[in-house]
């Protein structure tokens, strides 16, 4: 996958590999000790919040491991 600047990803739509619209990318977390990217933090779409079983943070946002990213184009595709 080619390099992409994080600032170009914020507010990009995120969908599951099964076609489920998950929401929009809020931020990306990283492990401060290793420098490795950890999770995509996704603000869920209202209508999908109850249909998707993905770990959430304290604010109700989805936390998707970076290893789940399959593609980054017009939207971000994550493994489901």
Question: What confidence tens digit (pLDDT) does each residue in 2-55 have?
Answer: 677 777 888 999 999 988 899 999 999 999 999 999 999 999 987 665 667 788
Reported confidence tier of residue 69, pLDDT bands at 50, 70, 90: very high
Domain formed by 6-27+36-78, architecture: Roll (2.30)
Q: Which two tokens stand for residue 74?
A: 């017009």
> Comparing C-alpha atoms, which of 61, 35, 4 is closest to residue 69?
4
Region of residue 35 (left: phi > 0; alpha: psi -120 to 50; beta: else): left
The residue extents of the domains of the chain are 6-27+36-78
**What pLDDT score does 17 carry?**
92
* Residue 76 or 53, more confident: 76
Task: Give the integer Cα–Cα distance in Å for 50 and 19.
Answer: 16
pTM value is 0.83
Pairing of strands 21-30, 37-44: antiparallel
């Amino acid at each position: 996958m080619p390099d992409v600047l994080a600032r170009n990803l914020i507010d990009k739509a995120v969908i599951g590999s099964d076609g489920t619209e998950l929401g929009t990318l809020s931020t990306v977390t990283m492990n401060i000790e290793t420098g490795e990217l950890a999770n995509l933090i996704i603000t869920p779409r209202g209508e999908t919040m109850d249909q998707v079983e993905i770990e959430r943070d304290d604010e109700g946002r989805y936390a998707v491991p970076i290893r789940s990213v399959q593609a980054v184009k017009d939207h971000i595709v994550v493994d489901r």
